[in-house]
Structure 1
Amino acid sequence: MIVHGIALKIIIFFQTLVGVMGNSFLLGLYIITFFAGPRLRTIDMILTHLAFVNNLVLLSKGIPQIMAALGLNNFLDDIGCKFVFFFHRVSRGLSLCTTSFLSGFQAITISPESSRWAKIKPRVQKYTVPFWLFCWVFRMASNGPILIYMKGPQGHKNTTSILDFGFCSVLFNPSLTTSISAFLIFLPDAICLIIMIWASSFMVLVLYRHRQRVQYIHSSRLFSRPSLETRATQSILILVSIFVYCNLINSVLTVYVQFAKTNHWLLNVSSFLAACFPACSPFVLIFSDSQVSKYCLTIWEKIKPPSITDF
């Protein structure tokens, strides 16, 4: 079990490193494109915010995990633990909000013109930034109880009600107040997951109907080359599938660890699953979204040194 724990911590280290590099690449690409390249699409603005908050998720969780793996279990005091866990929960909630908004926006984008959802697309584009501001304020307010319950690794005397994370601990005292606080924290997460599942089901249905229609119009050779909109929808479906799958398993593990005896190996598995989506999402977009390669090519054309033939 000790060997497995060490191996898992090494995997978490590389997961954090690779994930931060991938999200930073996308974030830098979209920022440079915004100032120097072609006009960004609305969906690119959403992906920019997603890459930013995913980096916050990886850094706020990965760095403490890595330092704990190096044996530095007491490097955070009470204030440090409150700040790190609060930032992690807020950024994770923002990642969830942004992913659900992304799936809903794409579902509206590919909806038929006759659909009522197509009529609200201009409104969605208009209120994208205010929606993010609302999510930031709401997530910071709803995660306020973390600033009360989170302590340092030796912040409690009664060890029977402590959930130990190795570098921090939280006072876990089952009561009506605690249950209400947990309900208020996880209710928005459940709503966002429901939106993602609905939007994904809707997108699959739209793509299926579109396939059925074009089969009567185009040859199989033409149909084998999906449109840019279809490829974007498929990449978002992959993102949502990874998010839902990893977070459902992670939620089950989190509940089990809270009500069972603390198991550091399961805590490491939970941390790995929680970081799977923010670490994998940039590479799904890099390899599946043709706009990413287009932006890279445009930027390269602007910054590449002149060749000899240009003189």
Structure 2
Amino acid sequence: MQSQEFIRGMLYLSLTVVGVPGNVAIIVAFLLLLYQENCLLPADAIILHLACVNLLVVGVRCLLETLASLHLSSIFSDLGCKAVIFVYRTSRSLSIWLTFVLSAYQCLNIAPPGSRWASVRTVVTHYLGLVFLFLWLINTCMSTAAILFSFGTQNDSSLLNHGINVQFCYVHFPSKLSKQANGAAQVGRDVVPMALMTLASLIILVFLYKHSQQVKGLRSTSRGGGGGSGVSGGAELRAAKAVVALVTLYVVVYGIDNGLWVYTLTVRKTMRSPLISDLRIFFSSLYAVLSPVVIIASNRKVNGRLRCRMQLTRTQEKPMPG
């Protein structure tokens, strides 16, 4: 095995080692919360759903890229490749749209009570299950091309003109136009939620700025001898900052990913470097690996449940006094 392929395999293995435990930890924490309280807040339900989808992304893509780098990709038949590419594309797009839903809901969550946006938040909360169902349906339908055009690795070099080699599978399009149309649809599917979540994050940032100015005004009034009450909603502010961090991470990672994808579609095969394909796969998986790190570091519910679980495990492992 070439050293370059070994390094590539170890790189994707490291993404798997970080991404799988991180997303599993979030899922376990919220399942414990659901078991203890018999319900989840809408934002918690969105994060739980996001962690499940990200786990699919890491498990399907990073792990299989590792196997491909270790020359184990031949275990995938045409049917297996169709299933893998379909699941990956569906879960990846769901990860993007769920991040938008989280940012939009957090934007509604900081709206003042009694406002029009607070009423919208109530409607979204009531129909959140239908929102999840709609996202699954629309993203599943948009990933059907993977079923039609995915095959096991092909040795026929003539197929490379309109195909994309993803190491463990091969995506072959019947024409250049179909390849570019499919690529444009994927870029549009990513750019639309990116623009919307960026707008939601800007609104959150404006709110956070106004809140900081309000807090400064209250502190100066208090020092001047006037009365005043503090601004409540510390948990909402922490959640808002975490959502802005997630959106920023998404915009950076998927911005690079889509830039590389557009380059792949527009540049002739003879001018493409294999490094471009590897970089695109890396960045397309990076958000699913790093987002649980941001969530675990910023979400007190996740931290609290994980700490309690670890303390309980240590207590059970201690030997009983004789």
- Bin of the TM-score, shorter chain as denominator length: 0.7 to 0.9
Superposed displacement of residue 53, structure 1: 0.2
- Cα RMSD of the aligned pairs, angstroms, is 2.9
- The aligned amino acid for 1:99 is T
Q: 1:252 aligns with which of 245, 259, 262?
A: 259
Q: Match of 2:51? A: 51
Range with greater deviation from structure 2 (87-96 or 179-188): 179-188
Distance 1:112 1:62, change over 3 A: same
Q: Match of 1:209? A: 210
Matches for 1:31-110 after TM superposition, within 5 Å: 31-37=31-37, 39-110=39-110
Q: 2:236 aligns with which of 229, 234, 241?
A: 229
Range with greater deviation from structure 2 (13-22 or 162-171): 162-171
Matches for 1:1-311 after TM superposition, within 5 Å: 3=3, 6-37=6-37, 39-113=39-113, 115-154=115-154, 156=156, 158=158, 159-172=160-173, 174-218=175-219, 227-258=234-265, 259-261=267-269, 262-296=272-306
SS of 1:207 mapped into structure 2 = helix
Superposed displacement of residue 112, structure 1: 2.8
Distance 1:59 1:250, change over 3 A: same
Give me the whole-angstrom Cα distance separating, in 2, the residues matched to 1:296 and 1:68.
34
- The aligned amino acid for 2:197 is M
- The aligned amino acid for 2:214 is R
Distance 1:58 1:9, change over 3 A: same
Contact 2:57 2:91 in 1 (8 A): yes
Contact 2:32 2:305 in 1 (8 A): no
Superposed displacement of residue 286, structure 1: 1.1
- The aligned amino acid for 1:48 is L
Superposed displacement of residue 185, structure 1: 3.9
Give me the whole-angstrom Cα distance separating, in 2, the residues matched to 1:297 and 1:15.
24
Scaled by the length of structure 2, the TM-score of the pair is 0.85
Give me the whole-angstrom Cα distance separating, in 2, the residues matched to 1:67 and 1:290.
36
Per-residue CA deviations over 1:102-139 (Å, capped at 9, x if unaligned) read 00000010123364322211111111111111111111
SS of 1:74 mapped into structure 2 = helix
Contact 2:54 2:95 in 1 (8 A): yes
Give me the whole-angstrom Cα distance separating, in 2, the residues matched to 1:226 and 1:31.
25
Scaled by the length of structure 1, the TM-score of the pair is 0.88
Contact 1:156 1:162 in 2 (8 A): no
Contact 1:90 1:143 in 2 (8 A): yes
Distance 1:4 1:204, change over 3 A: farther
Per-residue CA deviations over 1:181-209 (Å, capped at 9, x if unaligned) read 44444433222111111111110011111
Give me the whole-angstrom Cα distance separating, in 1, the residues matched to 2:27 and 2:13.
21
* Contiguous gaps of at least 5 residues in structure 1: none
Distance 1:97 1:188, change over 3 A: same
- The aligned amino acid for 1:64 is L
- The aligned amino acid for 1:40 is L
Contact 2:8 2:66 in 1 (8 A): no
Percent identity for Structure 1 against Structure 2: 27
Aligned residues: 306
